[in-house]
Structure 1
Amino acid sequence: MREVQVTFDCADPAALSAFWAEALGYDVQPPPPGFDSWDAALEAWGVPPEARNSRSAAVDPEGAGPRLFFQQVPEGKVVKNRVHLDVRAAPGLEGDARMEALEAECARLVGLGATRVRRVDPDGAMEAGFITLQDPEGNELCLD
């Protein structure tokens, strides 16, 4: 069996990992044993202050979901992502109940710094309905 890690290129790893941890009910990865904070660990390892936000991670506290890794890159996002995360915010719900649940989650994520992009309503045949957003650095995600 293989594990999957999802990696995000970003400008501010600490902020983006905090957003996704809150969005998914994950935890920002705690520092290694023997350290009470990441700053203490990085100080002990000789990492200079200006490099201490070069990476971060968020982990599923239940251990079921993939680790999310955030790495600082110098360039900004310029085009639509070819891969994005779907956040399953209304499993088993249909119609108005589904869209109400998606709208509630959309409002919560916008409050955390996401940007709403568009809503697609159910069409009764092939489309159950979803809402597209962008995380604080512009990465697309769908509430499904």
Structure 2
Amino acid sequence: MASVKQVQVTFDCAEPERVARFWCEVLGHVVPPPPEGFANWDDFNRVLPPELQDSAFACVDPTGAGPRLFFQRVPEGKVGKNRLHLDVRVGAGLVGDERLAVLEAECARLVALGATRVRLLTADGYNESCLVMQDVEGNEFCLD
């Protein structure tokens, strides 16, 4: 049986480049280089058929440790809660007021980038506090 070597996380969205650039800022990811023979992604995009222009974008962990994030344009809008979401681990190992302060500071940074704060889930004896948020197209994620 073959083992999985890499994982890519794919987002359906309306504006792939906009959402990808948001997640680059959130995670410290970068836009990968364009295909060989192209100076930049705009040059590559211009050679695509009109129906494929601006239809996809990606971002990668510059260290190579994390998965590639891929964003693809789909015709339908988001209609329900995500069945899968990302937890952005900014408060790992922290508890109480120290954890809340880190979560709130990161929340403020991400709201300035276009994210939306949804609600704070407070510590309950089993789980530490986390902040539920939405990205620039309404996809849920947590600051954990």
Q: TM-score, normalised by structure 1?
A: 0.92
| Superposition deviation, residue 139 in structure 1 | 0.5
Q: Which residue in 1 is equivalent to 2:30?
A: 27
Q: Which residue in 1 is equivalent to 2:80?
A: 79
* Segment drifting more, 88-97 vs 46-55: 46-55
Runs of 4+ that moved beyond 3 A? 48-51
Between the aligned partners of 1:32 and 1:51, the Cα distance in structure 2 is 16
Q: Which residue in 2 is equivalent to 1:137?
A: 137
Could you tell me which of 5, 8, 17 is aligned with 2:8? 5
Q: Which residue in 2 is equivalent to 1:36?
A: 39
Q: How many residues align?
A: 141
| Superposition deviation, residue 30 in structure 1 | 2.1
Identity of aligned residues (%): 60
| Superposition deviation, residue 50 in structure 1 | 5.7
Q: Is this contact kept in 2: 1:59–1:66, CA < 8 A?
A: yes
- What root-mean-square deviation, in Å, do the aligned CA atoms of Structure 1 and Structure 2 show? 1.3
- Structure 1, unpaired ranges of 5+: none
Between the aligned partners of 1:111 and 1:50, the Cα distance in structure 2 is 32
Between the aligned partners of 1:115 and 1:126, the Cα distance in structure 2 is 26
Between the aligned partners of 2:53 and 2:33, the Cα distance in structure 1 is 15
Q: TM-score, normalised by structure 2?
A: 0.92
Q: Which residue in 2 is equivalent to 1:97?
A: 98
Give the secondary structure class of the aligned counterpart of 1:27.
Answer: coil
Between the aligned partners of 1:73 and 1:17, the Cα distance in structure 2 is 14
Between the aligned partners of 1:13 and 1:28, the Cα distance in structure 2 is 12
- Structure 2, unpaired ranges of 5+: none
Between the aligned partners of 1:34 and 1:50, the Cα distance in structure 2 is 22
